[in-house]
Amino acid sequence: MKKVLIPTKLNTIARDMLTSHGSYEVVQDEAADFSSLAAQHSDAYALVVRSEKVTPEIIDAMPALKVVIRAGAGYNTIDTKYARSKGIDVMNTPGANANAVAEEVIALMLADARHVIPSDASTRAGKWEKKNFMGKEITGKTIGIVGFGAIGQLVAKRLSGFEVSVLAYDPFLSAERAKELGADSATLEEIFEQCDYVSLHMPENDETRGIINQSLLARMKNGATLINCARAGIINEDDLRALKADKGLRFLNDVYAKDAAGDKSVADIADIMVPHLGASTAEANFNAAHRSASQLIDYDDKGIASYVVNRDIPEGLDRAYSELAFMLAHLCRSIAGDHKKMKLIETSFYGNLKSYADWLLVQIVAALSDDFDRTQGFDAAVAYLKEMGVEYFNRETDISKGYENSMTVDVTTSVDAAHFQRISVRGTVTEGNMMISRINDFEKLYFEPVGAAVLFIYKDRPGVIGVIGNALAEAGINIDDMRNPHDPSGENSLALMKVNKAVDCEIVDKISAQIDALHASCVNF
């Protein structure tokens, strides 16, 4: 019998399913100290948690532990790297809480629009301040949803009865798929400029941290409402604080830097703040519990590990190739621009890399979407692509080309309703270093994707490199490395320059105008 420890308040369906399976002994105790439980049950094979912190100390207390399941989506409370070092798989149950969070967004919108919280307090105090609580209706408004994954899609669905217009931003979502889900695809800037309500549903990572900043907040309509039931770090609180009063913005919040009692940094700017209640429904608890048990059973009985979030590099694959797949896709995304909607991903894996195609696809999808974690599995990547309406095709490769261990990533995006853009990049690993060997028709680059870079495509003519170099120098930016090939026609040239620090988009746009560039972008590898 395999012992399963559940040290949290979780619906008993998990315990019942595992017990009835016949292979598990379940210990569930929500009252006892977690550390004490871990020490008492050092022989536990699996651990199912909600928001409990699974630290190295907890892991070390259970040397027989092989699986940790987070009954929910976020797993930032689990030391996944330490777990991996101990051979422990960590799984989550994405989507189990999605409806609960979506309904919370609607609840916050209605509570704020109709002043439910202050009017309740006023009336209980014996007052009759009806004139002070003039509200507004959600019907007919324009709602922006930033991040259109499972939760964002459900928010749109739940809002459909209010006859609202929904604008959705997700760099990985095709315009056609957005339409199918009741929304119009839009850029971040369009959402913040046009919407009466903006609801945030993106993860917090290096790409999204502080992304809701002065630039976007200043675009909001006077009196518009910002709702954050995602992660605290995606909002620059100081920028919101500086603009909120002047623009009459409303801010409804459910997430914090730390889930614990104590002062909250947004207390002075939040019009409604609740203690991270997004997943706190009986139904979400049931769903998460049910998913936890079924995933553990499938993991043991069928070897299904789709929801493992701390996978290591497969045996036999050089880690550099995993990073290369991520960087090639990241380059495609940078060239396309975040506002372009993905339509198709095509890959080619040569040499020994063919046998690792499934793993490498995960890295590619993670680079193209902030919503997908690169530690998930192939099945999860395929399911995510299907959900987003993006096609995927892995091509058979021709060994006669002699590319050995290299890979090609092609990404097709929609420019507008009638036009598409295809970006193709190839790379390999040489002497342990990643190398980009081709971008579209520009061959033999051998450029290392590390640090910051700028990329320009322009009609070939003398003097252009000097203009670019002078403009960068004026901005205090030094060129560390450069490639400047022509395309096969000889008409166009590519200037790919590694620079000593990240370049502001404004500088890139200025240079682009000076050289009349066909394309210009900045890339941070």
Topology match between the domains 98-273 and 319-524: no
Q: Is residue 67 over pLDDT 90?
A: yes
Report for 148-157, 300-309, 417-426: range of highest mean pLDDT: 148-157
Architecture of domain 2-96+282-302: 3-Layer(aba) Sandwich (3.40)
State the DSSP code for 78: B
The whole-angstrom separation of Cα 450 and Cα 375 is 21
Architecture of domain 319-524: 2-Layer Sandwich (3.30)
pLDDT value at residue 65: 97
From residue 50, give the alpha-carbon distance in Å to each of 11, 43, 297.
11, 20, 18
Domain chopping of the chain, boundaries: 2-96+282-302, 98-273, 319-524
Which of 94-103, 110-119, 128-137, 400-409 shows the lowest per-residue confidence on average (mean pLDDT)?
A: 400-409
Q: Is residue 402 over pLDDT 70?
A: no
Q: How confident is the model at residue 416 (pLDDT cuts 50, 70, 90)?
A: low
Q: How confident is the model at residue 332 (pLDDT cuts 50, 70, 90)?
A: very high
Q: Is residue 310 over pLDDT 60?
A: yes
Q: What is the mean pLDDT of residues 462-472?
A: 94
Q: What is the mean pLDDT of residues 348-358?
A: 92
The whole-angstrom separation of Cα 494 and Cα 503 is 18
Give the angle subtended at the CA of 121 by the CAs of 106 and 229, to the nearest 5°: 25
Q: What is the mean pLDDT of residues 227-253?
A: 96
- Find the length of the chain: 525
pLDDT value at residue 204: 84
Q: Which residues lie closer than 8 Å to 521 by C-beta, 6 or more apart?
A: 334, 335, 337, 454, 455, 508
Q: Is residue 415 over pLDDT 70?
A: no
Q: Is residue 108 over pLDDT 70?
A: yes
pLDDT value at residue 482: 94
pLDDT value at residue 412: 92
Instruction: Give 126-175 pLDDT, tens digit per residue.
Output: 999 999 999 999 999 999 999 998 899 999 999 999 999 999 998 778 88
Q: How confident is the model at residue 338 (pLDDT cuts 50, 70, 90)?
A: low
Q: Is residue 414 over pLDDT 80?
A: no
The whole-angstrom separation of Cα 135 and Cα 143 is 17
Closest CA to 196 of 141, 254, 117: 141
Q: State the alpha helices, DSSP H only, in 170-281.
A: 175-180, 188-194, 214-217, 237-247
- CATH homologous superfamily, domain 98-273: NAD(P)-binding Rossmann-like Domain (3.40.50.720)
Cβ of 439: how many Cβ atoms within 10 Å?
24
Q: What is the mean pLDDT of residues 37-51?
A: 95
Instruction: Give 210-225 pLDDT, tens digit per residue.
Output: 999 999 999 999 999 9
Report for 37-41, 93-97, 431-435: range of highest mean pLDDT: 37-41
Please give the biggest Cα pair distance in the chain. 85
pLDDT value at residue 486: 92
User: Rounded mean pLDDT of the chain?
Assistant: 92
pLDDT value at residue 520: 92
Instruction: Give 252-276 pLDDT, tens digit per residue.
Output: 999 999 888 999 999 999 999 999 9
- Which strand (E) or helix (H) includes residue 382? helix 378-388
pLDDT value at residue 418: 56
pLDDT value at residue 374: 80
Q: What is the mean pLDDT of residues 9-30?
A: 96
Q: CB–CB of 257/232 below 8 Å? A: yes
Q: Which residues lie closer than 8 Å to 453 by C-beta, 6 or more apart?
A: 447, 496, 497, 498, 499, 522, 523, 524, 525
Q: Is residue 196 over pLDDT 80?
A: yes
Give the angle subtended at the CA of 234 by the CAs of 54 and 155, to the nearest 5°: 90
